[in-house]
Amino acid sequence: MGKNSLIGGSIWEEYSQKVQDLMNNPQHMGEITEEDAKARGGKLVVADFGAESCGDAVRLYWLVDETNDVIMDAKFKSFGCGTAIASSDTMAGLCIGKTVDQAIKITNLDVERAMRDTPDTPAVPPQKMHCSVMAYDVIKAAAASYKGVDAASFEDEIIVCECARVSLGTIKEVIKLNDLKTVEQITNYTKAGAFCKSCIKPGGHEEKEYYLVDILRDTRAEMEQEKLKALADAKIAGTDNEVPFNELTMIQKFKKVESVIDENIRPMLVMDGGNLEIIDIKETDDGMTDVYIRYMGACAGCASSSTGTLFAIEGVLREKCSETIRVLPI
């Protein structure tokens, strides 16, 4: 909902009823003391996190059973806006009953979804997504304190969009796999840039190391270089010969398989009311190339999808691409 849509209405229309209720009546606000921890036989963990972009801060208390790493209880104190209170309260509730390792996997999107009244309606306006990001970051800080490690050790990828937790690797892969040409397409495929928009280009409410406009430009340049290299390799191998399938990059293999399916397989499936999509392609230790597919439409319930149809798909791909291909429906 844009600003103009609020004229004559209420700004609260952009917030779910759950968020409004938790702003005024949080369920897990408070603190856990050392005396509480001793009385209940758990280890007290206290972690702080502050968001420089808005001045909000949150303190998280965990009471952890050290025999199994289960979070017995969780409390919080929030120094910030009402959305920060609601997000922190939801985050604390999601932690209770989980192990520390399970809690680390709670993302800001999990927090935001848990605050929705209905599955398809966002709980907060886009510019307030940073509050749920703060809840995610304080969980990492608490887990790091409990485990005695650096919080950065929980991040194995560079995160470009904090709001949607989308990594640099994911964005680049999606651009290449789907031949994306605009930032809007990146957002449609990954949700990166859909919320606070700071990651789209310089000038947002907080400075970023990576921006979608630059990633798109650089990735498109990489794609052009890969294309030129493939053409050069093909020319060296002989102008009448294609680059061998096993020498293609994973992106090129994906596109090759997809092209063969589009030309030789998909039309027959569509005629019978079915279809398929390629989920993934993986190289195995035994030298095979596993192509994972998902049947759609009439194919999903067809008895031959695991026999005749599957053998036909695999046979075409082996003939057109490589004898090492193995097709696996999921």
Amino acid letter at 68? Answer: N
Counting DSSP H helices and E strands in the chain, the numbers are 12, 8
Q: Where is 309: in which H helix or E strand?
A: helix 308-320
Contact criterion met (CB below 8 Å) for 117 and 16? yes
Torsion sign over Cα 288, 223, 177, 113: positive
The whole-angstrom separation of Cα 327 and Cα 325 is 7
From 95, 131, 163, 321, active-site residue = 131
Contact criterion met (CB below 8 Å) for 160 and 219? no
Contact criterion met (CB below 8 Å) for 321 and 245? yes
The whole-angstrom separation of Cα 273 and Cα 275 is 7
Q: Is residue 81 annotated as a catalytic residue, yes or no?
A: no
From 54, 161, 163, 196, active-site residue = 54
Residue-by-residue DSSP string for 85-103: HHHHHHHHHHHTTSBHHHH
Q: Is residue 321 annotated as a catalytic residue, yes or no?
A: no
Q: Where is 209: in which H helix or E strand?
A: none
Contact criterion met (CB below 8 Å) for 192 and 199? yes
Tell me the catalytic residues.
54, 131
